[in-house]
Amino acid sequence: MQITDMTLQKRDPNKKNIFVDGNYVFALSHTDIAYFRLEIGKEIPQETFDYIQDSLIYIQAQEKALSYLGYKMRTKKEVEQKLLEKEFSEEIITRVMNFLEEYRYIDDQEYAVRYVKERLRLRPRGAMLLRMELKQKGICEEWIAEAIEAADPSEEQDAIGLLEKKLRGNYEIDEKKKKQLYGFLQRKGYSYDTIKKAFRYIDEMGNCDQ
């Protein structure tokens, strides 16, 4: 096993990326590089390599992941992306992800359920937009569907509520305003059928005021 290259990390100039036999393996601080006497062209003993991987790099990646999860619940994809940004190797990331899943630090199924409930409580939106947001976070279709079904969102009532907030009691609206509001609800992820029903209610309220 030969060290074939050492390059400065872009994100952390205090570390260098270490390449063994032409492959990136891990990043170390200048202090650690000096301590282990690593140099380009020099052989690295297997026991030294294993110690660095198992006792230094893995622990660093694990701590980074746990710190990231300490702020709020995250998906598997989000944690993987964070570790990739920190330039950990795929092997180390896989080991860390296995640990996180085994001890339930990450649970995409539970994440989907909580996400939908929180979104509907604080910022109502349609199932289409919820589905898109969760898909971007790496949640599988089955768990997305289960989470939305479990939350049982009343899309029509939520859409009406959003319209009423925008209208502030003035239910008489012209075509220009109606188009603007229609686009607003579309961006919130409501289907054509739901939007149509919401506007039917608003029209009825407008007729009642006359």
Domain 3-102 grouped into CATH 3.30.70? no
Helix axes 76-85, 58-71, angle to 10 degrees: 130
pLDDT bracket for residue 191 (50, 70, 90): confident
Q: Are 82 and 67 within 8 A, CB to CB? A: no
Of 1, 71, 60, 6, give the one whose Cα is nearest residue 33.
Answer: 6
Which CATH number describes the domain made up of 108-151? 1.10.10
Q: Do domains 3-102 and 108-151 have the same CATH topology?
A: yes
The ranges assigned to domains in the chain are: 3-102, 108-151, 155-209
pLDDT digits (tens, 9 = 90+) for 58-114: 998 999 999 999 888 899 999 999 999 888 888 899 999 999 999 999 999 999 988
Per-residue 3-state assignment (H helix, E strand, C coil) for 143-199: HHHHHHHHHCCCHHHHHHHHHHHHHCCCCCCCHHHHHHHHHHHHHCCCCHHHHHHHH
**What's this model's pTM, rounded to 2 decimal places?**
0.64
pLDDT digits (tens, 9 = 90+) for 103-138: 999 999 999 988 988 887 777 667 778 888 999 999
Task: Identify the bridge partners of residue 5 per DSSP, sorted by sequence position.
Answer: 19
Task: Identify the bridge partners of residue 43 per DSSP, sorted by sequence position.
Answer: 2
